[in-house]
Amino acid sequence: MEKTVWVVLLVMVALLSTMPSPGKSANIFSAFGRGFEHQEEIKYTTMKLKQTEGLEERRIPAKTWVCTNQPPADDPESSQLTVFLRLFGYLDGENNKGERLPMGIPVSIEATGTQENRNLTACFFLPEKVQIDPPTPTDPTVTLLHRPSLTILTRQFGGYPNSEATWDAETDKLKTLVSSAGISIDPNLVFWNAYDPPLKFWNRRNEVWLVKT
């Protein structure tokens, strides 16, 4: 069964299906409610605007993200609900300061390696006031990851991309545009990004990021 990789959409699934295990302090209903709060977007600089179907080049600043590895599909812990709750738990107080933290956007999946041998890391962006001194996660499966400054190529698309196959298809479309523009990219690194809460049904924003070399 194919892994679902668009993490935010799982909140809707959880509401219709199951509650998290009693041991988790992160409650799925409070997590769903947080989706209606204002969420700070990572700031970036648009370097160039390619006149090719919306292709855009951006400079993404070095920032700290809170992340967790996505287990293999045959691992019983690979449930995306579990992955979401790991990250939301950190925001909801599972950190060394016991602080409830704001959630930034995008929600980002870092995919490294090839499609046949891929590692996926799910991350939440931490807003600026958290960047100054982010508390340490108390869950050992959750880590703070400092992503370096990146120059990326991207374009926006809508809908609910809820499978690796969908993200791969969008990645291939973007690679074709980038190749046509004569730009070199890292072939083994891609970021899949979602910006909207699950109950926003129209004009949704999703992006694949390819890293310029």
CA distance 24 to 212: 40
Average pLDDT over residues 186-196: 94
For domain 7-204, give the CATH number. 3.20.80.10
**DSSP labels, 73-133:** TTSGGG-HHHHHHHHHHHHTT-BTT-------B-EEEEEEE-SSSEEEEEEEEPPHHHHTS
Do residues 194 and 206 make contact, with C-beta atoms less than 8 angstroms apart?
A: yes
| 8 DSSP 8-state letter | G
What are phi and psi for residue 155, nearest 5 degrees?
A: -155, 155
Take residue 196 and report the two structure tokens written for it. 């909207």
Bridge partners (DSSP) of residue 143 are 67
Residue 8: predicted pLDDT? 42
pLDDT digits (tens, 9 = 90+) for 114-142: 777 888 899 999 999 999 999 999 999 99
Q: Is 0.75 topped by the overall pTM?
A: yes
Confidence of residue 173 (pLDDT cuts 50, 70, 90): very high
What are the residue boundaries of the structural domains of the chain, listed by start? Answer: 7-204
Average pLDDT over residues 74-94: 75
Q: Which has the minimum average pLDDT: 7-21, 137-151, 154-168, 173-187?
A: 7-21
